[in-house]
């Protein structure tokens, strides 16, 4: 499945149906009169967050969404049928952004089943029966129905995850996420093996949380270097970031500085999120080198350094223990990137 996290679409609600101009004419009935019914309401445009979707790829092939208009009124005081609402399914974590400035967030769908009505259908027009008065017994006026609403919007997907992995290319992020979860990320001995974000579910000490792996950052990513910083939006909702640093690099402190500066340049409060610094690939170095590099990272500003190996799993348990301290206590069904739902009391049923 191809990954797409941005899409521009056109949406239009349904117009209201026109009211009818009709007069009652029946055999053997002496007096007639206006009996034109009102028009029906047009369909609303509704976005709904649904499970099972993690990409906006469907919107690459369908960019226009139009709700149906309401039915027109008819004689015998018959009201036109209301049009069905147009429901557009989107992945959880989708933001709907105005096309006018490209920044105003119109809606943010964070939970399964959450709905938002973005455009309302037009109300149906009045038929001539509603204009009848004691002084205007044969009205011929009617309303055409309210017009449809239309607009272009941007859909932007921000994956919901508790933990985000950041680091330079080849820092071992894909190997790490494969070690702690069943993500099945592609691993290679070249830069930018990961081209799209990858999610994995980690189960540790009776807890579950979601980890997001994004493509590596290089110096100048905020200005478009490499893959750029376009995927950093997928870790904006994370509670904590794990910064993986390759022990085989020439200067781990410099590697940490580069990533920190790119996070700060991106904005989105990423530079304010708590971070756990992990010195990765310790299986290819001796303990003395790992200790020396760890001290350099602490001198460069890291509070604590976790020596780990994504290939062998060494040191990962201590790192995951530290991650748990940033997650909410398990009190019910937890939503990644959001608050935990309170557990309902399962009291036995009683007729009294």
Mean pLDDT (the chain) is 85
Between these two residues, 44 and 102, which has the higher pLDDT value? 44
Which helix or strand (DSSP H or E) is residue 343 part of?
A: none
**pLDDT exceeds 70 at position 188:** no
The residue ranges of every structural domain in the chain are: 6-157, 163-324
**pLDDT exceeds 80 at position 162:** yes
Structure tokens at 105: 């967030």
* Region class of 224: left (phi > 0), else alpha (psi between -120 and 50), else beta: left
Angle between helices 252-266 and 287-299 in degrees, nearest 10: 40
**pLDDT exceeds 50 at position 345:** no
Over range 9-32, report the average pLDDT: 90
- DSSP string of 246-304, one letter each residue: ETTSS-HHHHHHHHHHHHHHH-TTGGGS-EEEEEE-GGGS-HHHHHHHHHHHHHTT-S-
Q: What percent of the chain has pLDDT over 90?
A: 40
Cβ atoms < 10 Å from Cβ of 192: 13
Over range 29-40, report the average pLDDT: 88
Cβ atoms < 10 Å from Cβ of 268: 15
pLDDT tens across 202-234, in order? 999 888 888 888 887 777 766 666 665 667 888
Helices marked H in the chain — which ranges?
173-180, 252-266, 287-299, 316-324
Q: What is the arrangement of strands in the sheet containing 150-157, beginning at the earlier edge strand? A: 64-66, 6-12, 150-157, 94-98, 105-109
pLDDT tens across 300-343, in order? 888 889 999 988 989 999 999 999 999 887 644 455 554 444 44
Domain 6-157: assigned CATH number = 2.70.210.12
SS (H, E, C) 137-167: CCCCCCCCCCCCCEEEEEEEECCCCCEEEEC
Structure tokens at 170: 């080849």
In this chain, the answer to whether the domains covering 6-157 and 163-324 adopt an identical fold is: no
Domain 163-324: assigned CATH number = 3.40.50.300
Between these two residues, 30 and 8, which has the higher pLDDT value? 8
Distance CA 20, CA 72 (A): 7
CA distances from 314 to 85, 165, 321 (A): 54, 18, 13
In three-state secondary structure terms, 114 is: coil
Q: Which residues pair with 91 in a beta bridge?
A: 50
């Amino acid at each position: 499945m191809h990954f797409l996290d941005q899409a521009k679409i056109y949406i239009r609600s349904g117009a209201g149906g026109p009211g009818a101009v009709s007069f009652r004419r029946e055999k053997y009935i002496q007096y007639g009169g206006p009996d034109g019914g009102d028009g029906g309401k047009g369909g609303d445009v509704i976005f709904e967050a649904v499970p099972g979707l993690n990409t906006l790829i469907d919107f690459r092939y369908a960019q226009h969404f139009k709700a149906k208009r309401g039915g027109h009124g008819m004689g015998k005081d018959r009201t036109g049928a209301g049009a069905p609402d147009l429901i557009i399914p989107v992945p959880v974590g989708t933001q709907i952004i105005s096309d006018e400035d490209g920044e105003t967030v119109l809606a943010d769908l964070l939970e399964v089943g959450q709905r938002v009505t973005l455009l309302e259908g037009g109300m149906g027009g009045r038929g001539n029966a509603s204009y009848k008065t004691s002084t205007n017994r044969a009205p011929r006026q009617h309303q055409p129905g309210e017009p449809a609403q239309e607009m272009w919007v941007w859909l932007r997907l921000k994956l919901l995850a508790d933990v985000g992995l950041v680091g330079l290319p080849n820092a071992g992020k894909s190997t790490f996420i494969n070690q702690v979860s069943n993500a099945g990320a592609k691993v290679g001995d070249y830069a930018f093996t990961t081209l799209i974000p990858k999610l994995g579910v980690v189960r540790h000490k009776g807890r579950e949380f979601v980890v997001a792996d994004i493509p590596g950052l290089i110096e100048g990513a905020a200005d478009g270097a490499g893959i750029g910083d376009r995927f950093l939006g997928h870790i904006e909702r994370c509670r904590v970031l794990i910064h993986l640093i390759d022990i085989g690099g020439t200067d781990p402190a410099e590697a940490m500085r580069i990533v920190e500066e790119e996070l700060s340049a991106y904005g989105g409060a990423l530079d304010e999120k708590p971070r756990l610094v992990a010195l990765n690939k310790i299986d290819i170095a001796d303990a003395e080198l790992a200790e020396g590099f760890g001290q350099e990272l602490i001198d460069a500003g890291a509070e604590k350094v976790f020596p780990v190996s994504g290939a062998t799993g060494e040191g990962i348990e201590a790192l995951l223990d530290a991650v748990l301290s940033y997650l909410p206590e398990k009190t019910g069904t937890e939503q990644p990137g959001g608050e935990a739902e309170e557990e309902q009391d399962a009291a036995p049923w009683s007729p009294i």
